[in-house]
Amino acid sequence: MIAFKTIKFKLTLWYVVIVGIILSSFSFFLYFTLADSLYKGVDNKIKTMAEIIASSTNRPFGAGPSIADLDRIMTERFGIRPLGRFVQILDESGRVDGSSTNLRDAQIPISVQTLKAASKGQTTFETVQVMGKYPLRVVTMPIMVDTRMVGIVQVGNSLEGVEEALRQLLLILLIAVPAALLITSAGGLFLANKALRPVDEITQIARRIGSGDLNQRIRIKRVNDELGRLAATFNEMIAKLEGSFRQVKRFTADASHELKTPLTILRGEVEVGLKKRRALKEYQRILNSNLEEINRMSRIVEDLLILSRADMGELTMEREETELSALAREVWEDLQILARKKKVQLKFVGDGSTRVEGDPLFLRQLILNLTENGLKYTPPGGEVALKVEGDRDQGVARILVSDTGVGIAPKDQKRVFDRFFRADKARSRETGGTGLGLSICQWIAQAHEGRIAVRSTVGKGSTFTVTLPLKN
Amino acid sequence: MRILVVEDEKKVASFLKKGLEEEYYAVDCAFDGEEALFMVEANEYDLVLLDIMLPKIDGLEVLKGVRDKGLTFPVLMLTAKDSVEDVVRGLDAGGDDYLTKPFAFAELLARVRALLRRQEREAAGELRVADLILDPATHTVSREGQEIDLTAKEYALLEYLMRHVNRVVTRTMISEHVWDYHFDPMTNVIDVYVNHLRNKIELDSSRRLIHTIRGVGYMLQDKG
């Protein structure tokens, strides 16, 4: 039953119905036009013959003598052999005066009406049944002398040829039309199959993708038809899916790798430590190192939690009026101790009104992450500048964090916002970075309809710029 | 037995070195791929512990470089990557075994012993030369059923000699497989240790096992 609901079947059915209607109307038209023209042909022939006979019989026949050899006379006079045509001459009262030999003893009947019409000078066509199974087409025409009817000529022609031809045609049409429809349905099914095969292929591939194999693609043979476009769209969709799946997979792998390193250290140090009795100092060293790793793991887990909740859209941003330069000044004050410890000069510049709408906690974290990063990657004696400026003309506030640190190679500049990307893995571990700080900064900026960008020269330093829309 | 630990994470390298040294192995550390390739050429290692994700040169590249140079020591890969593809790639690149982080230190030691045994084509368990027995798992040595107390270096030296029984072992071979990177070739440390070892295992009794091959080195022999 399912087979009857398929597009393939419906298409074929429609195709057959339409071709059937066209073929039947054509056959109908052909049959009736041909029949009409064949009957008219017979009428014309017998009328012509009757006219010829009528125009010349008034004397030779009209005198009354029996004309037993009408055939001979006709052959002599008109060069016409009345083959298959029957001729009968009547006098003005309707009595048979003479007939062609092929009529033998039979008579072409004449009705009173016809006789009356003939007496009025009118010609009548009739179809009568005389002999055999085929009807006879008869024309009855008065023979006129001046305006008086002196006799009647009747010419008949068997309709055998016509009826036989029409019967043949009907037979041919009755066989040919269903045969043509049968062939049409087979062809239609074939065409529908051919046209819809890509659909089956798409279905199968979709099923395989459903079972988790995202490497599958549909082979596109014809690029520009509807199915080609469908396949291309489908392929694009799979590619996007595959991309985001790969991203999630990589992120998970990266996250587990990041967590495995501190775990390896914890487990290894503890196991080696427990192998034998050790000095108190040794135990203290191991515990201190373990604490460091535990702290690192907590930071990674916290950062991961922020990012995954951000991804799920679970983090809600407060929307309150916030003065960026005030936030930045707080951060600057908080980081002075760290800067002094690292012997790096930390400067602050606030310029203009920097009122934005946003979440002060997240904005503070954004400024803190960027400034801390700057301090981490700047060697002693260097300088980190935190600048916040309002740009009324462009309607934006900017946070600029410049350092005189190691800088970022051009090939890495795009990737620094990627999760777990580190331009310098060893240094990042030593400074306690999680590899997620800049990803979080980027998310905070974007959640405030802002942007974050970096410009950097290796060996000279980097400048991170966050642009946020100003509140009017 | 001398082991090279290639690991960029300093703390991991540090506990590996400490733990392995306590098992009487001589241990050197390399912190990136370049250093690792330099070390394996400069020294003779019996086994290498190799991290896959390394700065400068990736661990798999290091492994290929090592095998291309015709070095055949067993390589035990240590990595956080635990997918089947990663394991297959590592083993196909020339690794002999694969351990994913975080690992149990006892398992690491067992795998190290297994790889060293395989290298020497030896049966598992104790090493025996005449009536001298050494157990690599428990680090105990005994002769005529009498347990002998050895220092770490003495033990390592004896294990090396026992693994090369009836073969001449040069002083260079001993220095390369029993001592680490900090060995000073200008001293007679090896001869001193061999003498200590002789005094302990040859007691007052029995046959001599360690023979001096003049101008070459030493040989441990199991028959008279």
Rounded Cα distance, B98 and B96, in Å: 7
Topology, domain B127-220:
Arc Repressor Mutant, subunit A (1.10.10)
Rounded Cα distance, A296 and A259, in Å: 9
Q: Which helix (H) or strand (E) element contains residue A369?
A: helix A360-376
Structure tokens at A157: 């022609």
Confidence at residue A71, expressed as pLDDT on a 0 to 100 scale: 61
Confidence at residue A268, expressed as pLDDT on a 0 to 100 scale: 94
Confidence at residue A182, expressed as pLDDT on a 0 to 100 scale: 92
Strand order in the sheet with A124-128: A96-99, A85-91, A148-158, A136-145, A124-128
- Closest-CA residue of B relative to A264 is B102
pTM: 0.58
Read off the pLDDT of residues A48-57 as tens digits, 9 standing for 90 and up.
888 877 776 5
- Is the Cβ of A294 closer than 8 Å to some Cβ of chain B? no
Could you tell me which of B178, B173, B126, B134 has the C-alpha nearest to residue B152? B178
Helix, coil or strand: residue A132: coil
With CB atoms and an 8 Å threshold, state whether A272 touches B8: no
Chain A hits for B56, CB-CB cut-off 8 Å, are none
With CB atoms and an 8 Å threshold, state whether B22 touches A260: no
Confidence at residue A371, expressed as pLDDT on a 0 to 100 scale: 93
Model confidence at B206, pLDDT cuts 50, 70, 90, reads low
Nearest to A260 among B83, B101, B105 (CB): B101
- Is the Cβ of A277 closer than 8 Å to some Cβ of chain B? no
Confidence at residue A64, expressed as pLDDT on a 0 to 100 scale: 41
Confidence at residue A89, expressed as pLDDT on a 0 to 100 scale: 82
Nearest to B80 among A260, A269, A426 (CB): A260
**Shortest CA gap B51–chain A (Å):** 12
Q: Per the omega criterion (within 30 degrees of 0), is the bond before A410 cis?
A: no
Q: Going by DSSP bridges, is the β-strand pair B97-100/B75-79 parallel, antiparallel, or unpaired?
A: parallel
Chain A hits for B80, CB-CB cut-off 8 Å, are 256-257, 260-261, 264
Rounded Cα distance, A261 and B32, in Å: 16
Read off the pLDDT of residues B60-119 as tens digits, 9 standing for 90 and up.
999 999 988 888 899 999 988 878 888 899 898 889 999 998 999 999 999 999 998 887
Confidence at residue A75, expressed as pLDDT on a 0 to 100 scale: 65
Rounded Cα distance, B50 and B47, in Å: 10
Confidence at residue B187, expressed as pLDDT on a 0 to 100 scale: 84
Chain B hits for A246, CB-CB cut-off 8 Å, are none
User: For chain A, which residues score pLDDT lower than 70?
Assistant: 1-3, 56-84, 101, 104, 131-132, 221-223, 424-432
Confidence at residue A63, expressed as pLDDT on a 0 to 100 scale: 41
Q: Which helix (H) or strand (E) element contains residue A255?
A: helix A226-274
Rounded Cα distance, A257 and B48, in Å: 22
**Shortest CA gap A442–chain B (Å):** 27
- Share the mean pLDDT of chain B: 87
Residue of A272, A277, A291, A430 to mutate for B, most B C-beta atoms under 10 A: A272
Could you tell me which of A70, A74, A72, A76 has the C-alpha nearest to residue A88? A70
A269, A290 Cβ separation under 8 angstroms: yes
- Backbone phi, psi, residue B203, to 5°: 40, -145
Structure tokens at A411: 């090939």
What's the per-residue H, E or C state across chain B?
CEEEEECCCHHHHHHHHHHHHCCCCEEEEECCHHHHHHHHHHCCCCEEEEECCCCCCCHHHHHHHHHHCCCCCCEEEEECCCCHHHHHHHHHCCCCEEEECCCCHHHHHHHHHHHHHHHHCCCCCCEEECCEEEECCCCEEEECCEEECCCHHHHHHHHHHHHCCCCEEEHHHHHHHHCCCCCCCCCCHHHHHHHHHHHHHCCCCCCCCEEEECCCEEEECCCC
Identify the DSSP state of A151.
E
With CB atoms and an 8 Å threshold, state whether A261 touches B22: no
Q: Which residues of A61-89 are buried (b: 16+ CB within 10 A; e: fewer)?
A: bbeeeebeebbebbeeeeeeebeebbbbb
- Give the residue extent of every domain in chain A: 2-164, 232-311, 320-469
Residue of A258, A259, A265 to mutate for B, most B C-beta atoms under 10 A: A265
Residue of A264, A277, A287, A300 to mutate for B, most B C-beta atoms under 10 A: A264
Does the domain at B2-120 match CATH 3.40.50.1100? Answer given as no
- Give the residue extent of every domain in chain B: 2-120, 127-220
Q: A320-469, which class in CATH?
A: alpha beta
Sign for the pseudo-dihedral over CA of B147, B149, B150, B155: positive
Topology, domain A232-311:
Helix Hairpins (1.10.287)
Structure tokens at A259: 């967590």
Count of all residues that appear for chain A in the document: 472
Chain A hits for B81, CB-CB cut-off 8 Å, are 253, 257
Read off the pLDDT of residues A327-351 as tens digits, 9 standing for 90 and up.
999 999 999 999 999 899 999 998 8
Structure tokens at A311: 């991804």
How many other C-beta atoms are found inside a 10 Å radius of the C-beta of residue B131? 14
Give, to the nearest 10 degrees, the angle between helix B152-163 and helix B171-178.
Answer: 120
Confidence at residue A2, expressed as pLDDT on a 0 to 100 scale: 60
Nearest to B19 among A253, A272, A429 (CB): A272
Chain A hits for B104, CB-CB cut-off 8 Å, are 267, 271
Nearest to B105 among A256, A271, A289 (CB): A271
For A454, what's the count of Cα atoms within 13 Å in the CB-facing half-sphere? Answer: 24
How many other C-beta atoms are found inside a 10 Å radius of the C-beta of residue B99? 17
Please name the CATH architecture into which domain A2-164 falls. Answer: 2-Layer Sandwich (3.30)
Structure tokens at A276: 């034998």
Residue of B25, B53, B105 to mutate for A, most A C-beta atoms under 10 A: B105
Confidence at residue B83, expressed as pLDDT on a 0 to 100 scale: 81
